[in-house]
Chain A
Amino acid sequence: MSTHDDSVTSRIGEFTRDAVRNGWTRERCVVLLSLGLLLFGVVAPSFQIYLFTEFLIIALFALAFNLLYGYTGLLSFGHAMFLAGGSYGLAIFLQESEPYVSNVVGAGPAPLVSWVLGAVFAVSLVIAMAVPIGWLSVRLEEIYFALITLAFGMLVYSVIIQNPQGLTAGSDGINVLLGVTEIGGAEFRLGDRQIYYYLTLGIVGASTYGIWRIVNSPFGTICKSIRESPERAAALGVDVRFHRWMTFIVSAAFVGIAGVLIAGLSNVASPYHAHWSESATAVVATVIGGATYFAGPIIGAFVYLYARWGISRYPALEAHWEFFMGVLIILVVLYFKVGAAGGLYMLRTWLLDVQAAYRRGGANAAVGFVRESATNKLRRDSDASESDTGGVER
């Protein structure tokens, strides 16, 4: 074992050195991205902050979904039930217990304390849902797994609509109002767009880091092996069903966090969040972005939400926005088999090659390289399409 210093201060020092060093280190990208995200909440117009907050939440939803899909190879078509579980967990907790919390901690900090307790309750509720649902679902694989999760999702949806014991308020949903918190004379409203943006940014950032650590841990390595060959993983001593079950629960818990956040953003826990079309949002965002890349679902969520927003600005198009989304998905599936993240990665490699050509032989070499790679690409594509159409002999 190498003897490197593991104390927090030395780590921060190391990080800072890497960040200010020449060249585009990963540390520098992280610092600049964080600064940009922090600044965004100050300078951006209110609606843009709202839209970006929604993007962050959907990104977390898709990222957690992809833990099960891209990393473990199980396509869940009912993950919206955990989004709803998080939303309703928070909403029901706030509705039922805010007065009690207020009695204990006083009226000032009550909204914030209730929200924190409500979030913990909501995620616990989601885990309590995921344990039995996952246990039953992981008995199946492939399309059967997709169908059983879809069925559970619809079950949760219909329970919410039925309004059992008056808990879920049926199709109206439950309003989630994050009131004014007062601590030590300072007053703020948690539901304020700017404050809610920073809250979401912090939680989504921490969750993303958590998921990133999980996929790079021994646990995540086993997930990937199950995706590649469940039979072989079992032959090496991996309890495949148990591991899938654990991944299901972890994935659901992170979706629950996204559910808590979406309830606060839209000010309502709505049955819409449990609908299968909401599950499809995670699937579509992940496919657009590329399931094989960690950042794929994030990029996919970005493309999905901003494409929808762009379309919605033109009333003539808005009525048919699903049509344009369909066209977008067809394009991605046909031409970017690795998704937008894969496309960006290829573009980056290509730009680096162009840069290298420029360094070698100036502008002429760079132009030459661009021309050559473009013709190669076209030739490859036409070759591929010919062999696709029945492998014509030449």
Chain B
Amino acid sequence: MTVVLQTDGLTRQFGQLTAVDGVSLEIDDEEVTSIIGPNGAGKTTFYNLLTGVLEPTSGAIRLRSDGELREITDDPPHEVARRGLSRSYQITNVFEGLTVRENLRVARIAREGRTLDFRSRAGSNEAANEQIDWLLELTNLAEYADTECDELSHGEKRKVEIALALAIEPTVFLLDEPTAGMNPTETRKIVSLIHRLNDEIDATFVVTEHDMDVVTDISDRIVVLADGAVLAEGEPAEVLADERVTEAYLGSEAL
């Protein structure tokens, strides 16, 4: 077991509100970790802290890159991504006006540090093209390769969302609500996709998810956030049997 991502007393306050409250976690590279919690538990803020979108009020974040844990607490988003932490979005955030292939090309150009290449033609790098074709196959997007994203269905866009984040070859991949807005069929497809990706790709998966069936299906370990703090963590069966967890969910989401 190797720790790839570590937070140490991570805290973020908005005025009087403490959205994330002293979260200390270690993410292991051999497990799929799910972070769950009722609405407003601080999951999205936690992701935004990890990816450098928000700065923490206190605490530290460390990410394994080049074989050792390095602090990324104050790095801006693009630095965090370059160090190997990638994310997908709960609200689909792809390059709508570009084709699926062009979307992935953006990620490859960024990954290979060719953003200031004026001279060559986009799409002329054979190694990058092979990588993109492989990803398209893996995520079942090959038939949509040359379709603009704004013409895709919601389910297909969610796949582009995942493929984009993977295209930069991350060490740690944070999926934010991968099945958001999906019907049961689409949800099953995404779940089997996540299983396949986890087998084939050398990245550690961290998932937030509201669908408990999905959570129990894909996770080796569950972390429960409530009011910004870690309420419970451990193996799925054990955590879901925990009374405090049931209480946190029912307490805030009882209809």
Using a CB–CB cutoff of 8 Å, the interface residues on chain A facing chain B are 1, 213-214, 216-222, 224-225, 227-229, 231-240, 243, 246, 250, 292
When distances are taken between beta carbons in the complex, the residues of chain A under 8 Å from B77 are 231, 234-235
CA distance A238 to B120 in the complex (A): 18
When distances are taken between beta carbons in the complex, the residues of chain B under 8 Å from A236 are 78, 81, 86, 106-107, 110-111, 164-165, 167-168
When distances are taken between beta carbons in the complex, the residues of chain A under 8 Å from B94 are 228-229, 232
Q: Can you name 13 A-B pairs with beta carbons within 8 Å? A: A214-B118, A221-B105, A224-B95, A224-B97, A228-B94, A228-B95, A232-B89, A232-B164, A236-B107, A236-B164, A237-B81, A237-B110, A250-B118
Given A236-B164, A238-B78, does the pair A219, B118 have CB atoms closer than 8 Å?
Answer: yes
Q: Which of A1, A219, A228, A292 is within 8 Å of B116, CB to CB? A: A219
CA distance A228 to B103 in the complex (A): 10
Report whether A235 and B111 are in contact in the complex, using a CB–CB cutoff of 8 Å: no
Report whether A237 and B111 are in contact in the complex, using a CB–CB cutoff of 8 Å: yes
CA distance A78 to B81 in the complex (A): 34
CA distance A231 to B106 in the complex (A): 13
| A69 → B minimal CB distance (Å) | 14
Q: Which of B89, B109, B111 is within 8 Å of A221, CB to CB? A: B109
When distances are taken between beta carbons in the complex, the residues of chain B under 8 Å from A217 are 117-122
Nearest residue in A to B85 (C-beta to C-beta)? A235
Report whether A237 and B120 are in contact in the complex, using a CB–CB cutoff of 8 Å: no
Report whether A232 and B93 are in contact in the complex, using a CB–CB cutoff of 8 Å: yes
When distances are taken between beta carbons in the complex, the residues of chain A under 8 Å from B116 are 219, 246
When distances are taken between beta carbons in the complex, the residues of chain B under 8 Å from A227 are 97
Given A216-B122, A222-B106, does the pair A229, B95 have CB atoms closer than 8 Å?
Answer: yes
Given A218-B114, A231-B93, does the pair A237, B122 have CB atoms closer than 8 Å?
Answer: no
CA distance A239 to B76 in the complex (A): 9
CA distance A218 to B114 in the complex (A): 7
Given A229-B94, A236-B106, A238-B110, does the pair A222, B121 have CB atoms closer than 8 Å?
Answer: no
Contact string, B38-58, partner A, CB cutoff 8 A, digits 1/0? 000000000000010100000
When distances are taken between beta carbons in the complex, the residues of chain B under 8 Å from A222 are 106, 109-110, 115
Report whether A237 and B82 are in contact in the complex, using a CB–CB cutoff of 8 Å: yes
Report whether B121 and A237 are in contact in the complex, using a CB–CB cutoff of 8 Å: no
When distances are taken between beta carbons in the complex, the residues of chain B under 8 Å from A238 are 78, 106, 110, 115
Residue B199, interface by CB 8 Å = no
CA distance A142 to B51 in the complex (A): 24
- Which chain B residues (89-135) contact chain A, with CB distance < 8 Å? 89, 93-98, 102-103, 105-107, 109-111, 114-122, 126
Residue B159, interface by CB 8 Å = no
Contact string, B57-89, partner A, CB cutoff 8 A, digits 1/0? 000000000000000000011100110001101
When distances are taken between beta carbons in the complex, the residues of chain A under 8 Å from B118 are 213-214, 217, 219, 250
When distances are taken between beta carbons in the complex, the residues of chain B under 8 Å from A233 are 95, 106, 110
Report whether A221 and B106 are in contact in the complex, using a CB–CB cutoff of 8 Å: yes
Nearest residue in B to A219 (C-beta to C-beta)? B118
| A350 → B minimal CB distance (Å) | 20
Nearest residue in B to A220 (C-beta to C-beta)? B122
When distances are taken between beta carbons in the complex, the residues of chain B under 8 Å from A216 are 121-122
| A239 → B minimal CB distance (Å) | 5
Nearest residue in A to B167 (C-beta to C-beta)? A236
When distances are taken between beta carbons in the complex, the residues of chain A under 8 Å from B95 are 224-225, 228-229, 232-233
12 further A-B contacts with Cβ under 8 Å, apart from A218-B120, A221-B122, A228-B94, are A217-B117, A218-B115, A220-B122, A221-B102, A222-B115, A224-B95, A228-B97, A231-B77, A232-B94, A235-B86, A235-B87, A235-B93
Report whether B117 and A218 are in contact in the complex, using a CB–CB cutoff of 8 Å: yes
CA distance A238 to B126 in the complex (A): 21
Report whether B93 and A234 are in contact in the complex, using a CB–CB cutoff of 8 Å: no
CA distance A231 to B93 in the complex (A): 8
Report whether A224 and B110 are in contact in the complex, using a CB–CB cutoff of 8 Å: no
| B23 → A minimal CB distance (Å) | 21
Q: Which of B87, B109, B119, B126 is within 8 Å of A213, CB to CB? A: B119
When distances are taken between beta carbons in the complex, the residues of chain A under 8 Å from B107 are 236-237
Nearest residue in A to B126 (C-beta to C-beta)? A1
| A219 → B minimal CB distance (Å) | 5
Nearest residue in A to B104 (C-beta to C-beta)? A236
| A231 → B minimal CB distance (Å) | 6
When distances are taken between beta carbons in the complex, the residues of chain A under 8 Å from B106 are 221-222, 224-225, 233, 236, 238
CA distance A213 to B124 in the complex (A): 13
CA distance A42 to B111 in the complex (A): 51
When distances are taken between beta carbons in the complex, the residues of chain B under 8 Å from A250 are 118
When distances are taken between beta carbons in the complex, the residues of chain B under 8 Å from A240 are 78
CA distance A238 to B108 in the complex (A): 11
| A218 → B minimal CB distance (Å) | 4
